[in-house]
Amino acid sequence: MQVRLQKFLAEAGVASRRASERLIVNGLVEVNGKVAKELGTKVDPDHDTVKVEGRPVKTRRKIYVALNKPGGFLSTRSDELDRRIVTDLLPKEWSHLHPVGRLDRDSEGLIFLTNDGDFTLRLTHPRFGVRKHYRAIVEGRVEPVMLRRFMEGVEHEGETLKAERARIVDANNSHSIVELELAEGKNREVRRLFESQNLMVERLQRTQIGPIRLGELPEGKWRALTDIEVKSLLKMSPAPASATASTAPVTSR
C-alpha cells in the first residue's frame, strides 16, 4: 500500500508532517536512490528504500508515553549545554522519542513523548485547540477581575494571551492558587498571563491534556498511554488521515 512520502516520514518519527515536507522540498529525501522533491511522491513502506540526508528510514512501532516532568528538566531531545532533558527519565532505547509540545524548564507535570509525528501535530497545532489544564501557585493575591481579563484576552509582548477558563482555588495576601485551562499553549503563556498583572508564578504544574489527567503518576515517572487514551486524544477534532494508534506494550515506571 502506497502512502505520501511526508506521511511516511512522520509515521517513522523523522519529523512532523509539516517539517517532513520541508525536508522533501529542500532535496534531503531520497526514494530508491533518487532525490524526491515533489510533495505528491508516494512510497510503499514494505518495498521502497527511503533515506533522509543519506540515512535509511524505517517505520517504527508507535510509542506514546505520559511523563510527570519534574522542574529543572528541558522539554527537548538534546541540549548543547548538557542540561537535564526529559528523555533522561525514560529507558535508553527510547532516546529517539520527542516531547509533544513544550513545558518550561521550571514547570512540572504532564507531558507526552512519542515517535508519531501526526500525533504531535494534532496535540500542538493551534487549529486543533487541544485544551491543557494548569495549577499555578502565585505570589500575592489574585483577584477575580484578573481572571476575567485572562478569559477576555490580555496583550503581552505583542501577543494576545487568553485562558478558556480560570478559577481561584485559594487566595490570601501572600499566595494564591489558581487553576487555568488554555487552548493555544503559547510560549510561557501561563506565566506571562500573570506577569501582565504584575504577579509572579512561584510554581506551575500541568495537570491535564485533553481528556488525559496527570492523576497519581509520581514525579519523574512515566507510563504508556493506552490505546483508548490515544484514540480519545485523536478524536478530539478532525484528524489527518494517518492518525492511527498502536500503544507500545510497556508498563508504568
Q: Which of 150, 148, 138 is nearest to 184 (CA)?
A: 150
168 has which bridge partners?
A: 178
Catalytic annotation, residues: 104
- Amino acid code (one letter) for 181: E
Task: Give the list of residues 6+ apart from residue 145 with CB closer than 8 angstroms, or none.
Answer: none
Report d(CA 161, CA 211) in Å as an integer.
23
User: Hey, what's the cell of 238?
Assistant: 478532525
User: Hey, what's the cell of 250?
Assistant: 510497556
Cite the DSSP H helix spans in the chain.
5-11, 17-25, 117-124, 144-152, 189-195, 227-234
Report d(CA 126, CA 106) in Å as an integer.
23
CB distance 101 to 111 below 8 Å: yes
Residues in the chain: 253
CB distance 31 to 43 below 8 Å: yes
